[in-house]
C-alpha cells in the first residue's frame, strides 16, 4: 500500500531560483559544473548525505543513483521536451537522496522582533514551509527526495524538474531574473514565472501521459490553500504562478513568451495583463538621534496579501492588497536596542487606501489589543498613520518607537523620531 505524503512535503523547486525567496539570496545564474552549488543545494551534515554510496543504473540514458524509479526517466524527459518543443539536452543524472530539514523560504534566521515576525511571517512553527521534494541546482543533475519514492506524483514531479532543466539550458532563468529588480517583490514575481511555468509544463505532461490521481495544478492549489504565513508566500509561486502562466499561454511550447516578458512585480503576477510598474514613492528618515536607514526594498502586493492573510480571510486580504501601488520600509533602532519599522504603502487611489486601512485595522484587532494610541501585542506595538489621501505608514515594533514616531508628507514621506 502506498502512503500518501503530506501536501507540504511535495514542494518541488529550482534551488537557485524557485524556493530561495526572501529579503536577499543567491543569484539565479547557472553554476559551473565544477563549482559548488548554493546553500540551498548544499548537503546538510546528517540530513541529506546518504550513509553509503549506492549503486547506479541507467534509466533511458540518464544515470540514477540512490534508489530506483518506477518509470523510464529518459522517456519522461523526451516526452517533456516534446511538449516544450525543445532540443535542449536533458540532465545527465538523477540523485535520489534524503533531503531533511531544508527550508523552502529564505528570510532572516532570527525573527524575534523582526519585520517578518511582526507581520505574522516568522520562520518558526508549521507555517515556515515544507520539505523539498526535488530540486535542480544545475542542469546536469536532478535531486529527488528519497521520501517521495512510491508516491504516485513522482513522475509528474520529475516532469516539473525537467522544465527547470530546460529553463537552465535555454537561459530562461537569467532572462526572467534580469527583467526585474532584486527586491522581495521582484524576486517573488520572478519566482512565480519560473515555478508557474514548471507547474504548467508538468500539468500538460500529466494530462497527456498520466491522468490519474491529482494533477500538478490542483496539487499546487491545494498546497497554497493549506499553507499559512511564510509557507503560503512560498506556495504562491506554484499556485498563483501557474494561474498567471495559464492566463497567458495555452501550450507548453509557448512558454518562451512568458520568459521574454515575465511579470516584474507581484502586482503583475497576480493580475495578468497589468503592465504598469510601481508608483513613484520616496520615503526618507527625518530628524532622529537613533540609528536609522531608508531601504530601497519593495515588498509588493503579494507580501501585503500574505501578511494580512495571517489574521483575516483570503478574500478580504486580496481586496485590501489589490490597490497596491508601491511600498518602502524605513528601519530604526531605539537607544535600548529595540527595533522599529515604518512601512510606507502607497495605493492607487483614495478608495483603495480606505479599503486597506479597514482590513489592516481588522488584522490589528485580531492579532493585538487596541489601546488609546494604537495596538499592542507580545510581538510589538503598532500604529497606522496617514501620509496623504493615498499613502499609509504602518508603524510597528518597539513601544518607544511606535509612540514617538511622527510622519510628514509632501513630495516624499518623512518619518522622524
What is the per-residue pLDDT across 249-264, written as a single tens digit (0 to 9) for each?
999 999 999 999 999 9
Residues 6+ apart with CB under 8 A from 255: 84, 163, 172, 197, 200, 201, 245, 249
Predicted local confidence at residue 296, as pLDDT: 77
Selection from 219, 212, 171 nearest residue 194 by Cα: 171
Q: Which residue has the higher pLDDT, 72 or 35?
A: 72
Summarize the confidence of residues 324-333 as an average pLDDT: 97
- Kindly tell me the burial class for residue 4, based on how many C-beta atoms sit within 10 Å of its own C-beta (0-12, 13-18, 19 or more): exposed
Integer Cα distance of 137 and 142 in angstroms: 8
Distance linking the first and last C-alpha atoms of the chain = 63
Stated pTM of the model: 0.86
- 295 vs 178 pLDDT, higher one: 178
pLDDT recorded at residue 361: 98
Residue 12: per-residue pLDDT: 56
38 against 79, higher pLDDT? 79
For 261, counting Cβ atoms within 10 Å of its Cβ (0-12 exposed, 13-18 middle, 19+ buried), the class is middle
Please report the pLDDT score of residue 131 as a whole number. Answer: 75
pLDDT of residue 123: 66
pLDDT band at 105 (very low <50, low <70, confident <90, very high): very low
Average pLDDT over residues 347-366: 98
Helix (H) or strand (E) holding 404: helix 399-404
Mean pLDDT (whole number) for 130-156: 92
Rounded to an integer, the average pLDDT of 124-151 is 82
Mean pLDDT, the chain, whole residue set: 85
Rounded Cα distance, 117 and 35, in Å: 35
Cβ distance 43 to 100 under 8 Å?
no
* pLDDT interval class at 359 (50, 70, 90): very high
Cell of 301: 502586493
pLDDT at position 149 is 94
- Note the pLDDT of residue 13: 54
Quick: pLDDT tens for 111-128: 446 999 999 998 654 454
C-alpha–C-alpha distance, residues 207 and 189, integer Å: 26
pLDDT tens-digit profile of 153-206? 999 999 999 999 999 999 999 999 999 999 999 999 999 999 999 999 999 999
Q: Give the per-residue pLDDT at 316.
A: 97
Q: What is the pLDDT of residues 217-252, one digit of tens each?
A: 999 999 999 998 889 999 999 999 999 999 999 999
Within 278-313, residue ranges assigned H as helices are 300-308
- Residue-wise pLDDT for 158-171, tens only, equals 999 999 999 999 99
Which ranges of 17-153 would DSSP assign to H, the alpha helix?
Answer: 73-84, 115-118
What average pLDDT does range 387-407 have in this prediction? 97
**Residue 324 confidence (pLDDT) above 70:** yes
**What is the reported pLDDT for 364?**
98
DSSP string, 245-267: HHHH-SSGGGTHHHHHS--SSHH
Average pLDDT, integer, range 17-31: 26
Measured CA to CA, the distance from residue 105 to residue 127 in angstroms comes to 11
- Helix or strand (DSSP H, E) at 143: strand 141-145
The three three-digit cell numbers of residue 313, written as one number: 480571510
CB atoms inside a 10 Å sphere around CB 7: 18
Q: Where are the domains of the chain?
A: 7-270, 283-416
**Where is average pLDDT lowest: 6-10, 28-32, 73-77, 279-283?**
28-32
**pLDDT value at position 126?**
46
113-122, 212-221, 400-409: segment of lowest average pLDDT: 113-122
- Model pLDDT for residues 360-392, shown as the tens digit of each residue: 999 999 999 999 999 999 999 999 999 999 999
User: In this predicted structure, what is the pLDDT of residue 17?
Assistant: 33
Q: Which of 197, 187, 132 minimizes the C-alpha distance to 164?
A: 197
Amino acid at each position: 500500500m502506498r502512503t500518501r505524503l503530506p501536501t507540504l512535503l511535495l514542494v518541488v523547486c529550482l534551488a537557485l531560483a524557485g524556493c530561495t525567496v526572501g529579503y536577499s539570496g543567491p543569484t539565479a545564474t547557472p553554476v559551473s559544473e565544477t563549482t559548488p552549488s548554493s546553500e540551498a543545494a548544499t548537503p546538510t551534515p546528517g540530513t541529506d548525505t546518504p550513509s553509503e554510496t549506492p549503486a547506479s543504473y541507467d534509466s533511458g540514458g540518464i544515470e540514477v543513483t540512490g534508489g530506483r524509479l518506477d518509470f523510464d526517466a529518459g522517456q519522461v524527459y523526451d516526452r517533456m521536451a516534446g511538449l516544450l518543443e525543445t532540443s535542449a539536452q536533458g540532465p545527465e543524472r538523477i540523485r535520489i537522496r534524503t533531503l531533511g530539514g531544508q527550508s523552502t523560504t529564505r528570510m532572516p534566521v532570527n525573527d524575534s522582533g523582526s519585520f517578518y515576525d511582526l507581520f505574522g511571517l516568522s520562520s518558526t512553527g508549521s507555517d515556515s514551509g515544507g520539505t523539498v521534494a526535488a530540486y535542480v541546482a544545475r542542469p546536469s543533475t536532478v535531486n529527488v527526495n528519497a521520501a517521495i519514492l512510491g508516491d504516485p506524483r513522482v513522475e509528474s514531479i520529475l516532469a516539473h524538474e525537467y522544465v527547470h532543466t530546460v529553463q537552465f539550458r535555454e537561459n530562461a532563468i537569467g532572462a526572467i531574473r534580469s527583467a526585474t529588480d532584486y527586491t522581495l517583490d521582484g524576486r517573488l514575481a520572478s519566482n512565480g514565472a519560473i515555478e508557474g511555468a514548471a507547474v504548467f509544463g508538468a500539468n500538460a505532461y500529466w494530462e497527456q501521459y498520466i491522468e490519474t490521481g491529482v494533477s500538478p495544478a490542483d496539487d499546487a492549489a491545494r498546497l497554497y490553500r493549506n499553507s499559512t504565513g511564510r509557507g503560503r508566500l512560498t506556495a504562491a509561486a506554484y499556485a498563483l504562478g501557474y494561474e498567471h502562466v495559464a492566463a497567458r499561454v495555452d501550450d507548453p511550447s509557448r512558454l518562451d513568451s512568458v520568459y521574454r516578458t515575465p511579470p516584474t512585480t507581484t502586482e503583475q503576477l497576480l493580475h495578468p495583463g497589468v503592465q504598469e510598474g510601481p508608483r513613484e514613492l520616496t520615503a526618507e528618515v527625518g530628524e532622529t538621534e537613533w540609528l536609522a536607514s531608508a531601504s530601497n526594498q519593495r515588498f509588493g502586493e503579494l507580501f501585503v496579501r500574505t501578511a494580512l492573510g495571517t489574521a483575516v480571510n483570503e478574500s478580504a486580504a486580496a481586496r485590501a492588497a489589490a490597490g497596491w501601488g508601491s511600498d518602502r520600509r524605513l528601519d530604526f533602532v531605539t537607544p535600548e536596542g529595540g527595533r522599529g519599522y515604518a512601512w510606507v504603502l502607497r495605493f492607487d487611489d483614495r478608495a483603495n487606501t480606505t479599503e486597506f486601512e479597514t482590513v489592516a485595522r481588522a488584522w490589528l484587532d485580531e492579532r493585538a489589543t487596541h489601546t488609546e494610541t494604537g495596538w499592542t501585542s507580545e510581538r510589538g506595538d503598532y500604529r497606522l498613520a496617514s501620509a496623504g489621501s493615498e499613502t499609509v505608514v504602518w508603524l510597528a515594533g518597539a513601544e518607544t518607537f511606535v509612540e514617538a514616531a511622527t510622519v510628514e508628507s509632501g513630495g516624499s514621506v518623512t518619518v522622524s523620531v
